[in-house]
Amino acid sequence: MRADSVLFPTKAGLYCPAGDFHIDPSRPVARALITHGHGDHARAGHGAVLATTQTLAIMAQRLGPGFAREVQAADGPLRIGGVTVGFHPAGHVLGSAQIAVTPDGGPKIVVSGDYARQPNPTCAPFQPVACDIFVTEATFGLPVFRFPDPLAEIARLLRSIQDFPERPHLVAAYALGKAQHVIALARQAGYDRPIAIHASLQPLCDLYAGAGVALGPLTQATDQAQLVIAPPNILSGPWLGRFRDPVIGMASGWMAVRARARGTELPLVISDHADWPGLTATLRELSPAEVWITHGAEGGLLRWCEMQGLPARPLRLVGPAEVAP
């Protein structure tokens, strides 16, 4: 069976006709398999959703308990129509998974979703899954993106707190995954004082703590706090005015680009995605028959695959233009 008849992009998202399901669909569909809880992958309104237990909990927290008519937790290989599907850790955020789709007789296709290769104390590490086709993200798919050890970046934050104890340190971090990642790294580095968080982060931090992630003592953000974690949009609004002479930090892989870090006093290169060495090492390790590239700088990774003699194409060019609704 041709791989591009097993799984291909449609207007609603990646579609598998043999199983009659979509992966991370962009609009409501009858049956959706979800890689993780970020809003560009997990949406409300589907008839049925299959995802990891943690992703279902995150979706319920973010979208409300009625986000789908039916939900099912992925637990081991599952037969759906004419294919077998499996969920494997992606190392991106809590509950994130790669989804393997295997029809009878092959080929086996693994959809990475978003993934990371650096250790992350808040989620299970990426699990390499042998496959014929690997659908890889390429968010940071250019050679310029080479991320340092995240604990070294946290050490820079803690040194700044030590050097400027009179200034509150406010770190911008996305609500799902990055905020908890920064907090957990600070704990790993030995910071045992209460960490203040914006109120909007509390529900997801509680969910992470309930899943066994060691976040330590958290408090509501006040003008007396030493270390504060808040969503990026909050730090550009009036809420910031309560803090006197704060050190503003931003935790993101995009801080590796000088132009993106401009105006941020303490840029922290901490990412929940694979960097260029992580992407290329993954492709070398898996050595699939073909790579389908999506989500980002597909041109850079496509060129690298060509130089390695590894067949590759952008996911948007796979299969028919539109077959499924």
Q: Domains of the chain by range and CATH?
A: 3-144+273-317 (3.60.15.10), 150-268 (3.40.50)
pLDDT digits (tens, 9 = 90+) for 38-77: 999 999 999 999 999 999 999 999 999 999 999 999 989 9
8 Å CB contact between 132 and 3:
yes
pTM score, whole prediction: 0.95
pLDDT digits (tens, 9 = 90+) for 108-130: 999 999 999 999 999 999 999 99
In the predicted model, is pLDDT for residue 323 greater than 70? no
In the predicted model, is pLDDT for residue 197 greater than 80? yes
Query: Which residues have C-beta within 8 Å of that of residue 295, sequence separation ≥ 6?
Result: 114, 137, 138, 139
Name the DSSP class of 27: S
- Give me the helix-helix angle, 150-163 and 178-188, nearest 10°: 70
pLDDT over 90 percentage in the chain: 88
pLDDT digits (tens, 9 = 90+) for 80-93: 999 999 999 999 99
b/e sequence 223-234, b meaning 16+ C-beta within 10 Å? eebebbbbbeeb
pLDDT of residue 219: 97
Counting beta carbons within 10 angstroms of the beta carbon of residue 35, is it exposed (0 to 12), middle (13 to 18) or buried (19 or more)? buried
| Token pair 């948007």: residue | 316
pLDDT of residue 321: 44
